[in-house]
Structure 1
């Protein structure tokens, strides 16, 4: 793809696709919900993941390049997305 390898810290919420895309969306899904049992939690999580299309997951992966570019432009400093 013509990408250059860039060193980065072992953990950074700016460039972790699960943090800026998946978990942010999951956080919105879970907002305001209350669960009484583990099974209710499992059911809600299953509904969340099944509601997402391949296109949704693919978009999150491709947005990673844009996130890395922001990290580079901010000299590795944290930024709000």
Structure 2
């Protein structure tokens, strides 16, 4: 994924956020896909700052899961397991289809469990938190 491609995609997502709540939910789904790969080169950071998007802090080489990992990427990996894609567009098409077919409750449950996991982490003074 190139830096320019990522910025173009973020710009596209910004348009979705301005449209409707349903599209905003879908946009957040797509952004989760890029969270780990967003290597914060200067024009990406400038783009995010210009549009007021916040990236949650997470140590670069932490053994813990990033906040977006624990709920989304397990099912995502299971869905994509064994698949092969000839082009980046094929992969993106498959991911969009997967995101479009997710139930809205999938993310409600994920967000609710994120809050409880963060609280557990606070209560354990930063120690590892199991599901």
Any conservation in 2 of the 1:35–1:41 contact (CA below 8 Å)? yes
Structure 1 gaps of 5+ residues are 1-8
TM-score by length of 2: 0.47
Quote the Cα distance in structure 1 between the aligned partners of 2:124 and 2:96.
37
RMSD between aligned residues: 2.3
TM-score by length of 1: 0.70
> Counterparts of 1:1-81 in structure 2 under 5 Å?
10-11=57-58, 13-14=64-65, 16=67, 18-81=68-131
Greater relative contact order (Cα < 8 A, sep 6+): 1
Larger helix percent:
2
How many equivalent residue pairs?
Answer: 72
